[in-house]
Amino acid sequence: VIKMTDLDLAGKRVLIREDLNVPIKDGKVTSDARIRASMPTITHAANAGAKVMLMSHVGRPVEGEFSEENSLQPVADHISGILGKPVRLIRDYLNGGFDVADGEVVLLENVRFNAGEKKNDEALSKKYAALCDIYVMDAFGTAHRAQASTHGAGTYAPVACAGPLLAGELDALGKALDNPARPMVAIVGGSKVSTKLTVLESLSTKVDQLVVGGGIANTFIAAAGLPVGKSLYEADLIDTCKRLTADAEANGGSIPVPTDIVCAKEFSPTAEATLKAADECLDDDMIFDIGPDSAEALAEIIRNAGTIVWNGPVGVFEFDQFGEGTKTISLAIAESDGFSIAGGGDTLAAVDKYDIADKVSYISTGGGAFLEFLEGKALPAVTMLEERAA
Query: What's the Cα-to-Cα distance from 178 to each of 91, 123, 182, 374, rounded to whole Å?
Result: 42, 37, 12, 10
From the candidates 103, 116, 229, 368, give the one annotated as an active-site residue.
368
Decide if residue 214 touches ligand 3PG (CB under 6 A). Answer: no
| E-state strands within the chain | 13-17, 24-25, 28-29, 51-55, 88-90, 105-108, 134-137, 159-162, 184-188, 209-212, 260-264, 274-277, 286-290, 307-311, 339-342, 362-363
Binding-site residues for substrate sit at 19-21, 34, 57-60, 112, 145
Interacting stretch for ligand 3PG, rule CB under 6 A, among 138-146, 280-288, 350-358, 380-388? 138-146
Nearer to ligand 3PG, 260 or 372 (CB): 372
Q: Supply the minimum distance, in Å, between the C-beta of residue 318 and ligand 3PG.
A: 20
φ, ψ dihedrals at 177, nearest 5°: -105, -30
How far apart, in whole angstroms, are the C-alpha atoms of residue 148 and residue 129? 10
Decide the pairing of beta strands 260-264 and 286-290.
antiparallel
Q: Supply the minimum distance, in Å, between the C-beta of residue 121 and ligand 3PG.
A: 16
From the candidates 64, 96, 345, 376, give the one annotated as an active-site residue.
345
Decide if residue 142 touches ligand 3PG (CB under 6 A). Answer: yes
Q: Supply the minimum distance, in Å, between the C-beta of residue 162 and ligand 3PG.
A: 17
Query: What's the Cα-to-Cα distance from 282 to each of 6, 146, 264, rounded to whole Å?
Result: 61, 47, 10
Nearer to ligand 3PG, 19 or 260 (CB): 19
Decide if residue 196 touches ligand 3PG (CB under 6 A). Answer: no
Decide if residue 368 touches ligand 3PG (CB under 6 A). Answer: yes
Query: For ligand 3PG, how many residues bind (rule: CB under 6 A)?
Result: 8
φ, ψ dihedrals at 165, nearest 5°: -65, -50
List residues near ligand 3PG by CB under 6 A. Answer: 19, 21, 60, 141-142, 145, 367-368
Instruction: Please list the active-site residues.
Output: 34, 192, 345, 368
